[in-house]
Amino acid sequence: MKRNFLMKLEYCGADFEGWQIQAKGRTVQGILSDCLSKFTREKISLIGAGRTDSGAHALGQYANFITGKPLKPSEMKYKLNKMIPHDIVVHSCREVPLGFNSRKDAVYRSYRYLISEKLSALNVNFSWIIERRIDISILNDMAARIKESVHFDNFCKVKSRKSSNDCIILDAGWSRYAGFLRFNISANRFLHNMVRLLVGSMAAVERGKMRIEKFYEILENKTDEKTKYIAPACGLYLVDVKYEGINL
């Protein structure tokens, strides 16, 4: 009998070419799919809730797969954690309805971006190091406008644009915590590179490389100009994904 398992994953993206399987390169989806296929002795198709970029991380990535292997979710979690490399961890696993799809059934996703205001050898792969005190009030002024926006055509990788690039932003804001400047944003969907382009553009305004009026023009689609400022992938984290009636 076929069963559908949903996993909550954490991974360090420093040594991965992103989530999605590629022709060449080490990917999170590729490694997990290979391990699951060896373990179940079936061809496993792993569906992720979101595609993280090369070098980006996840605190709460979700992925599901269908198998005929007669195991409890706790056994699946234990066995898989014994097989996968140290930079991926399965935090939890549960059975879900066969029709469940971790990407299509997501209600909203949350991302975080970290900036370090001081030089750090340890945090170089886990944050964007800017090395100076940043004016958080300017950043939060822009974040407030992001929360009111819907059209993000100008904050999307051009080749991945869809017929509609509208996103409903549930929350967006900057804070200081544990030595980092943090940007938290939640939305019903995200476009390719959207968070990194937003952060890079806000940082460009704060540094005086872009006028704040220009940022608002680009954000509100009052111009065809696309933003050219993108933050490094190393500071980006997929924090959580929410589903209707399903918790892990």
Two tokens, residue 99: 């029709």
Catalytic residue, from 53, 87, 105, 135: name it.
53
In degrees and rounded to multiples of 5, residue 155 shows phi and psi of -125, 50
- Separation of alpha carbons 7 and 95, rounded Å: 9
- Separation of alpha carbons 211 and 215, rounded Å: 7
Which domains can be identified in the chain, with CATH numbers? 3-104 (3.30.70.580), 107-241 (3.30.70.660)
| Residue 71 confidence (pLDDT) | 87
Residue 181's DSSP bridge partners are 115, 176
In degrees and rounded to multiples of 5, residue 197 shows phi and psi of -70, -40
For every residue of 28-59, DSSP letters joined together read HHHHHHHHHHHHHTS----EES--PPTT-EEE
Find the helix packing angle between 194-206 and 212-219, rounded to 10°. 160
| Residue 157 confidence (pLDDT) | 80
For 229, residues 6+ apart whose C-beta sits below 8 A from its C-beta are 197, 200, 201, 203, 204, 209, 210
Spans of the chain below 50 pLDDT: none
**Helix (H, G, I), strand (E, B), or coil: what is residue 197?**
helix
- Indicate the DSSP class of residue 202: H
| Residue 223 confidence (pLDDT) | 87
pLDDT in tens, 138-188: 999 999 999 999 999 999 987 555 668 899 999 999 999 988 999 999 999
Known active-site residue 105: no
| Residue 19 confidence (pLDDT) | 97
Please check whether residue 6 is in contact with residue 77, taking contact to mean a CB–CB distance below 8 angstroms.
no
| Residue 210 confidence (pLDDT) | 96
CA of 234: how far to CAs of 16, 57, 72, 142, 171, in Å?
A: 11, 7, 35, 22, 22
Q: Among candidates 86, 82, 84, 104, which has minimal Cα distance to 6?
A: 104
| Residue 163 confidence (pLDDT) | 67
